[in-house]
Chain A
Amino acid sequence: MERFTVLEAVAAPLLRQNVDTDMIIRVERLRDLERDALGPYAFESWRYLPDGTEDPGFVLNRPPYREARIILAADNFACGSSREAAVWALWGFGIRAVIAPSFGPIFFNNCFQNGLLPVVLPLEAVMQLAAEVEASQGRGKVRVDLERCQVVAPSGKAWSFEIDRLRREGLLQGLDQIELTRARDAEIRAHQARDRELHPWIYAAGAWAAPPEAETKSRTTGKAPE
């Protein structure tokens, strides 16, 4: 995973409440495309007109916001579906940080698996950032500093933000959580051994999940039974 330390970049204001993950990436794209091909389809129903051309009115189509690496968002950004493709699509577009008063909870977690930083700041702070950025016609850069846990506006006005230590370290060092957890496998197995004594029924269901009969399978899928 790519590390996140300090980012100074164009920030695009997208101050709409409840932007959902269906809006960030349409479900058909998950089906048809690999994760590294999603960038062109981020926010597609806003970015493109029905004839497929770009809508010049949409913020991410306008210079310099086309180069944005930060999004300034309103409440409950990326609510809805758990699709991690919402993060991949933003990443593919070039976004590395989103600043918002609140986030959809599953998207928030997904960000940390991919090196994208979600920053929680009060709405007034996000609106001040947006106002400064707009006053500079987008040329004023916003600085997101994960080492100092600080967001700095183009004018130099700064806000501190809070982030959990574990998440911060993961991003700063680009850690792979699977490897970290695998190193604790002895603890996991010890937990399971205790749990098996206390709650044995939890572990019994697998044995009762009898495999399907070959006959059923062949009838419904048209495939030869194995």
Chain B
Amino acid sequence: MASKALFDKIWDRHAVADLGDGYALMHVSRHLMHDGGAASLAILRKRGYPVHDRELTFATMDHAVSTEPGRTADTVSPFSARLESMRQESRAAGIRLFDLGEPGQGIIHVVGPELGITLPGTFLVCGDSHTCTHGGMGAIAFGIGASEVVHVLATQTIVQRRPQRMRVTFEGARRPGVFPKDMILHLIGQIGTAGGTGYAVEYAGSAVRALGVEGRLTMCNLSIELGAKIGMIAPDDTTIEYLAGRPLAPKGELWDRAVADWRGLPSDPDARFDREVEIDVARIVPQITWGTSPEHVVGVDERVPDPAAVGNPDRRRAMEAALEYMGLQPGAPIAGTPVDWVFIGSCTNSRLSDLRDAATIAKGRKVAEHVRAWVVPGSENVKRQAEAEGLDRIFKDSGFEWREPGCSMCLAFNGDRVPRGQRSVSTSNRNFVGRQGPGARTHLASPAMAVAAAVSGRITDVRML
């Protein structure tokens, strides 16, 4: 039998029909929805179609919820109408909605894996570009648009073209202070935000194998910032141990059958890839972005790059515009830049291990006088577990605000935003112009680097603390 990559094994088992020219009608084994899905459900209802497979569809609230501590029905969001319509539409459609205050609510890309909804070998879609996160479990997972959401609801399938395959092999040991976020930001800096366009990317190598599931989710989360809709990591013992006992993971005899199946999913040793990239992990230092695209990234010990040194005129103009927006001088050291806000959260870095990493550094230190620093747990479960471990106390004692779960300041959709002109170090995934609020200046970094910025009041090499 021909050898196959992880991607192909999962793709092939979900192909319903060959539509020619590389296109296929693909079965969707997991459809996740967030509060933006109400409009698609309404379209489906008006067209008179039922949800094709309710038991494969799961929803929660994340984008539009306020994360204000002690939120109530009145304070939960300035946009509570959107939340209420999601409640009504999912009830009418018979979809399980994990609502505010119950375990299972949270950022959809945190909730899927933590509940055991996301499983190795599944073909998972959601109307959100960071759906690639779930690939960290060994699934094919990607974001779709609102029209495609209606298509999936109506048919439990999606029309897709088979992408090419890329493998990125991370070899070597991480240095102290270097986290999964740094690994993936470094890769984006190396191959650019269009480097993955047209590919499904598999992350492999000893440094990936050594990561826990949550670190793998962080890495896959930024695949879309590489231009790749799909990023994935082969399931292994780490994945299986993570899933054991999760509320919606298989149980009993089904669990044993599932595990046996998952063992066969990793890429065969001689599987072929259309593009291969190798990264020497020992050379990666803590990363920080300086511009308005995730590819505008440097090591924290480096300087802000100088557009004058760039030959390509488009690239140079983009860099100049980015530096002007960010208020940075070419050639200046990035470390030492004063910051106003710190945001620890988002579908990239709001899981328990992220909060533990952050708390380890925050413990015994104080947030700088002029800095506002937020910790927004990714889900109700993460929040409860963190509180059971006392992480919330550590953060609060250090001067961080401990908030309710949601997407929060990653996209400034819900009342949580960075004020105009202010500078934020954020553990999220996009430093686009205005992403954290009109005029807000965002530097992407790991949770450890975010804490280092919070306590020193400036961009700081976490290894120097």
Q: Do A and B bind each other?
A: yes
Residue positions of A touching B, CB distance < 8 A: 15-18, 20, 22-23, 26-28, 30-31, 45, 74-76, 79-85, 87, 102-106, 109-110, 113-114, 164-166, 177-178, 181-182, 184-185, 187-188, 191-192, 195, 198-209, 211-213, 216-217, 219-223
Question: Shortest beta-carbon distance, A71 to chain B, in Å?
Answer: 15
Which residue on A lies nearest to B293, using beta carbons? A18
Neighbouring B residues of A79 by C-beta, 8 Å: 193-194, 227
Knowing that A22-B430, A109-B144 touch, tell me 20 more A-B residue pairs with CB under 8 angstroms. A16-B318, A18-B295, A75-B194, A81-B430, A83-B145, A85-B146, A102-B227, A113-B147, A164-B21, A181-B159, A182-B155, A187-B16, A199-B29, A201-B258, A203-B56, A205-B55, A208-B251, A220-B100, A221-B99, A222-B73
Known: A22-B430, A201-B119. A221 touches B16 (CB 8 A): no
Q: Which residue from A28, A102, A213 sits with its C-beta under 8 Å from B413?
A: A28
With both beta carbons as reference points, the residue of chain B lying nearest to A198 in the complex is identified as B13
**Residues in B whose Cβ lies below 8 Å from that of A23:** 432-434
A182 touches B434 (CB 8 A): no
| B residues in contact with A17, CB < 8 Å | 293, 314-315, 318
Say yes or no: B99 contacts A164, CB within 8 Å: no
Residues of B whose CB lies within 8 Å of any CB of A are 13, 16-17, 19-23, 25, 27, 29, 36, 47, 52-56, 58, 64, 72-74, 76, 79, 82, 96, 98-102, 116-117, 119, 121-122, 127-129, 131, 142-148, 150-151, 154-157, 159, 161, 193-194, 197-198, 224, 227-229, 247-251, 254-255, 257-258, 261, 293, 295, 314-315, 317-318, 321, 411-413, 430, 432-435, 438
With a CB–CB cut-off of 8 A, which chain B residues contact A188? 16, 25, 27, 52, 155-157
Q: How many inter-chain contacts with C-beta < 8 Å in the A-B complex?
A: 216
Contact A31 B64, beta carbon cutoff 8 Å: yes
A residues near B197, Cβ cutoff 8 Å: 76, 102-103, 105
Question: Quick one: given A27-B411, A31-B64, A82-B145, are A209 and B248 in contact (CB under 8 Å)?
Answer: yes
Q: List 30 A-B contacts (CB under 8 A).
A: A20-B293, A28-B413, A79-B193, A80-B129, A81-B411, A81-B430, A83-B145, A84-B146, A105-B197, A110-B148, A113-B147, A113-B148, A164-B21, A164-B22, A164-B161, A185-B155, A195-B13, A195-B29, A201-B257, A206-B54, A206-B55, A206-B56, A206-B96, A209-B96, A211-B96, A212-B102, A213-B102, A220-B102, A221-B99, A222-B72
In the complex, which residues of chain A have a beta carbon less than 8 angstroms from the beta carbon of B99?
212, 217, 220-221
Closest to B40 in A: A84
Contacts of B64 in A (CB 8 A): 31
Majority-rule SS of A interface residues: helix
Residues of B with C-beta under 8 A to A18: 193-194, 293, 295, 318
Q: How far is the CA of A30 from the CA of B433 in the complex (A)?
A: 17
Choice from A202, A208, A216 contacting B122 with Cβ under 8 Å = A202
| Bound CA span A106–B318, Å | 22
Does A31 contact B82, Cβ atoms closer than 8 Å? yes
Cβ distance B294 to chain A, nearest Cβ, rounded Å = 9
Given the interface contacts A76-B193, A84-B147, A200-B257, does A195 sit within 8 Å of B73 by beta carbon?
Answer: no
Residue contact A181 to B250, C-beta cutoff 8 Å: no
- Whether the Cβ atoms of A177 and B254 lie closer than 8 Å is no
Residue numbers in A under 8 Å from B74 (CB-CB): 222
Known: A22-B434, A191-B27, A221-B73. A76 touches B129 (CB 8 A): no
Q: State A84–B155 Cα separation when bound (angstroms).
A: 20
Docked CA distance A103–B239 (Å): 33
Provide the bound-state CA to CA distance between A205 and B21, in Å.
34
User: Which residues of chain A have C-beta atoms less than 8 A from B159's C-beta?
Assistant: 166, 177, 181
Taking a contact as CB atoms under 8 Å apart, the answer to whether B155 and A202 are in contact is no
Q: Once bound together, how far apart are the Cα atoms of A27 and B436, in whole Å?
A: 10
Contact B147 A110 (CB under 8 A): yes
Residues of B contacting A203 with CB < 8 Å?
Answer: 55-56
By a CB distance below 8 angstroms, the chain A residues around B154 are 178, 181-182
Is the Cβ of B155 less than 8 Å from the Cβ of A105?
no
A113-B145 CB under 8 A given contacts A185-B155, A205-B55, A221-B101: yes
Partner of B151, one of A83, A178, A205, A216: A178
Contacts of B142 in A (CB 8 A): 106
Kindly report which residue of chain B lies nearest to residue A223, judged by CB atoms.
B73
Answer whether A166 and B157 are a contact pair too, CB < 8 Å, given A84-B146, A220-B102.
no
